[in-house]
Amino acid sequence: MDGQRRPGVKPTSTTLGFDYLMTSLARLELSGDVSKEYAKLPTPHNFPCKVGKSESVAKKNRYKDLIPYDHNRVVLSPQTSSLIDAMDESGDYINASFIRGYTNNDGYIATQGPMLGTVEDFWSLVWSENSRLIAMLCRIVERCQNQSYKYWPEVGECLDVDDVIIKTDVEDDRGTHIIRKIGLRHMKTGERRDVIHLQFLAWPDNSLPCLPTFLTFWKTFRKYKCPSSGLPIIHCSNGSHRTGLLIALDSLFTQWEVTSTIDVVCCVVRMREDRVGFFPTENEYRFLYHSAVEAYMSHQTDRPMESFHRTDSLGQVTNEAALKTKDIHREFSFIDMQRTNQSTDPRLITCNTNGNVLFPDLSIERPFQSYQLQFPCDTGSMYVTAVPMCHQTIKKQMDEYPIRLRHSVSLQEHEVFLGIGGVL
């Protein structure tokens, strides 16, 4: 793979530290610097895709305009692909690409959602690359459109794919995502492998997910990554838009672990050299920035419940608990850094029922344009004191949600719930 890759010209370095980003991201967005940065990104490369565009493999592509580049496409092994035939030149083809990570030892495989006719190829890919982690960023069906074929069996059932028996042993539904443990056994050699399958359920179609739920899924993904095994496989429906966001966030966090800095521009440019369709919109680019900042702020905030309050026999707080208190102060200082520039705009003050309950400009708390409501203000902006509260385990019916303001609107439940005016 490395010998075939064709790197493009590296852009001017835009390396940033998280301390700077945490205090300046809102300002950079308001000033238009992030938009200008996205606009200046090099035009996505037009590397050859001759194999993927040939008529013999057309049936293996979910979308005709999202084809892997020839120089880094995944080539199925003859020993694992059940479809390889001396007379069938499409046998080694799968719509999948090797994606570089930040380090030479880090990387990913991006692929489209399997179709009925490519399920065998998909599991051949898993076996031949010794992948032990699969991240699926879509549902089987979204808005009546098929996004991926259900390529795994139900719990306790088996699926025979060529010489490999696939069995789903465990399925743990976490609300916004599902964790599955899938066992693979090769019938000829008897070799057994365990694969973790993560499915994210809370990504609205043609939109962006709520950042906290996306980061929770990413943390789970990172927890199960195993450097000693094969590359993780990530897919959505087309293997680019959603897939690119997860890969980019994980790659940027690896860069921070190595250098204490991140470079969003170089990361996106590098990824665009590896697959078509990454970061087609500015909103996705902005979302990546916010994801990276929040990942840094929250990467050590997950703790078991029993660690919150520990005392000795005399009722005194232990040293460990005292250290936890310091951590809490540090975490709160991070949260307090968030700015409320737009919420405190004098022209929008009538939109706030409580001057002390304001929402930060960082989109981890305020919705992106895709979530914003049509709310008439003198500025002509789409502003409302509301945040998305996305959680798949909540099943709540709402007919109307009154707002005690002159410019009142009625809200119908769609993809998310809204906390309005700071009170739900």
Active site members: 236
Answer yes or no: are the C-beta atoms of 378 and 347 closer than 8 Å. yes
Q: Are 256 and 103 in contact (CB under 8 A)?
A: no
Query: Rounded to 5 degrees, what are φ and ψ at 393?
Result: -80, -10
120/98 Cα distance (integer angstroms): 19
What gap in Å lies between CA 14 and CA 265, rounded to an integer?
A: 6
Contact 385/359 with Cβ under 8 angstroms? yes
Tell me the three state secondary structure of residue 193.
strand
- Please give the Cα distance from 151 to 164 (Å, whole number): 13
Q: Which residues contact 199 (CB under 8 A, 6 or more apart)?
A: 136, 139, 177, 178, 180
CB 222 within 8 A of CB 252: no
Q: Which of 254, 299, 235 is nearest to 62 (CA)?
A: 235
Size of the chain in residues:
424
CA distance 143 to 148: 13
CA pair distance 74, 95, nearest whole angstrom: 8
H-state helical runs in 211-340: 211-224, 241-259, 264-272, 282-298, 319-336
**Phi and psi torsions of 339, nearest 5°:** -100, 155
Non-local (6+) Cβ contacts of 172 within 8 A are 178, 179, 180
Residue 78 phi/psi, 5° resolution?
-60, -25
d(C-alpha 110, C-alpha 251), whole Å? 13
195 touches 126 (CB < 8 A): yes
